[in-house]
């Protein structure tokens, strides 16, 4: 049966790669949109920071994923595979069409769908789902608030300064803010795959208690970094240019504010959406300078994609899990 566990772990790492392909683009979108870095250089910076991030913020989010949505005693290897099929399929489809959906919520939807297919709604753990709901609601609003606050403070402090030197200064600072956001992205999203791998190991009896081995951290970090390097450039364009054309100081404000939201959530074990946080920050930063600088129509399209992510991935996971169980005779 270890062969099945290895296959499931590979599937989890493929999901992590897709996460980097779609979601980690968030950490370089603004630094590309403000033309501070070329896409290749920005992606390299983000990939390195995403690799480091999971080592810095503990494993609270991994714990929520592994033990907070489904009871580990209920979980089988086939359920995990079905959930990953739902999450990865949905994320890949949306990435192909350039929609920066929440890959995190694709994973949550996958877990919910596979749980509904096998054990029913009554066995879902509501405390963990409440944490997810908090992340859905607070991360975009928190990101927007942070974007507005940081941008307003910068505009106030530098109101009498010449735009050229200010943009040059914040262009340099954006190198640090984009790395900071990538670190917090890796810390939050890398942990989600760690949680899935630990759940696989526990379901197969390889681990008897919850712990995250160092090889799990290394493999999850490497997969998300590789996905970032390959890059979802359609998504980068949507976030960095289509939502709002930002000045370097706004990019700095958006990345710094969004990173703070993710860092707090990672520490609290809340599986936040990087996409929600950075999109809220970008819109807040753009609106703080001029309301009409934000392309609200694009924002509404992205919100629509978010709203169907959990149901969409859950439906695919439900169907995949049902089919897998039928094939293996469970």
Per-residue pLDDT of 250-295, as tens digits, reads 889 988 999 999 999 998 888 888 878 888 888 888 888 777 666 6
SS3 173: helix
Q: pLDDT tens digits for 53-82?
A: 888 888 888 888 888 899 988 999 999 999
- Angle, CA 215 vertex, CA 190 and CA 187 arms, to 5°: 20
Residue 136: the pLDDT is 80
3-state secondary structure 103-116: HHHHHHHHHHHHHH
Q: Do the Cβ atoms of 57 and 267 come closer than 8 Å? A: yes
Residue 154 CB contacts under 8 Å (≥ 6 apart), including other chains:
170, 249, 252, 253
Tokens of 318: 């439900």
- CB-based burial label for 274 (10 Å; 0-12, 13-18, 19+): buried
Longest distance between any two alpha carbons in the chain, whole Å? 72
Residues forming beta bridges with residue 244, ordered by sequence position? 294
Instruction: Band the pLDDT of 234: cuts 50, 70, 90.
Output: low
Q: Which residue has the tokens 């996409």?
A: 275
Chain centre to alpha carbon of residue 110: 15
pLDDT score of 100: 63
- Cβ neighbours, 10 Å, residue 130: 12
What pLDDT, on a 0 to 100 scale, did the predictor assign at position 239?
54
Predicted pLDDT at 132: 83
CA distances from 319 to 113, 178, 194, 274 (A): 8, 39, 24, 27
Q: Between these two residues, 160 and 252, which has the higher pLDDT value?
A: 252
pLDDT of residue 265: 92
Report how far residue 100's alpha carbon sits from residue 304's, in angstroms, rounded to the nearest whole number: 11
* pTM score of the predicted model: 0.84
Over range 93-112, report the average pLDDT: 82
In tens, the pLDDT along 39-53 reads 777 778 888 888 888
Mean of the per-residue pLDDT values of the chain: 84
* 3-class DSSP assignment, residue 210: coil
Q: Above 80 in pLDDT, residue 127?
A: yes
- Average pLDDT, stretch 124-149? 88
Q: Counting every residue, how long is the chain?
A: 330
pLDDT band at 162 (very low <50, low <70, confident <90, very high): confident
Model confidence at 301, in pLDDT bands (50, 70, 90)? low
Can you tell me the mean pLDDT for 201-208? 88
């Amino acid at each position: 049966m270890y062969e099945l566990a290895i296959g499931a772990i590979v599937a989890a790492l493929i999901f992590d790669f897709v996460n980097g392909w779609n979601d980690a683009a968030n950490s370089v979108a603004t630094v590309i949109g403000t033309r501070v870095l070329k896409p290749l250089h920005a992606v390299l910076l983000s990939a390195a920071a995403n690799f480091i991030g999971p080592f810095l913020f503990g494993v609270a989010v991994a714990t929520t994923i592994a033990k907070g949505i489904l009871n580990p005693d209920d979980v089988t290897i086939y359920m995990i595979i079905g959930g990953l099929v739902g999450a990865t399929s949905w994320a890949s489809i949306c990435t192909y069409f350039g929609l920066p959906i929440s890959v995190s919520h694709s994973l949550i939807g996958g877990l919910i769908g596979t749980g509904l297919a096998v054990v029913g709604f009554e066995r879902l753990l509501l405390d963990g789902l409440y944490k997810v709901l908090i992340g859905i609601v607070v991360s975009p609003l928190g990101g927007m608030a942070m974007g507005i606050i940081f941008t307003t403070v910068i505009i106030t402090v530098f109101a009498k300064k010449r735009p050229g030197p200010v943009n040059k200064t914040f262009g340099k600072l954006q190198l640090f803010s984009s790395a900071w956001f990538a670190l917090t992205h890796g810390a939050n999203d890398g942990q989600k795959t760690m949680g899935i791998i630990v759940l696989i190991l526990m379901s197969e009896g390889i681990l008897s208690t919850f712990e995250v081995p160092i090889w799990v951290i290394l493999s999850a970090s490497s997969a998300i970094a590789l996905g970032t390097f390959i890059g979802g450039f359609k998504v980068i364009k949507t976030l960095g240019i289509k939502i709002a054309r930002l000045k370097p100081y706004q990019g700095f404000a958006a990345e710094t504010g969004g990173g703070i939201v993710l860092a707090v959530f990672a520490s609290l074990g809340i599986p936040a959406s990087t996409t929600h946080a950075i999109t809220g920050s970008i819109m807040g930063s753009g609106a703080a300078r001029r309301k009409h600088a934000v392309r609200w129509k694009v924002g509404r399209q992205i919100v629509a994609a978010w709203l169907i992510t959990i149901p969409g991935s859950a439906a695919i996971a439900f169907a995949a899990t049902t089919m897998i169980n039928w094939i293996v005779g469970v």
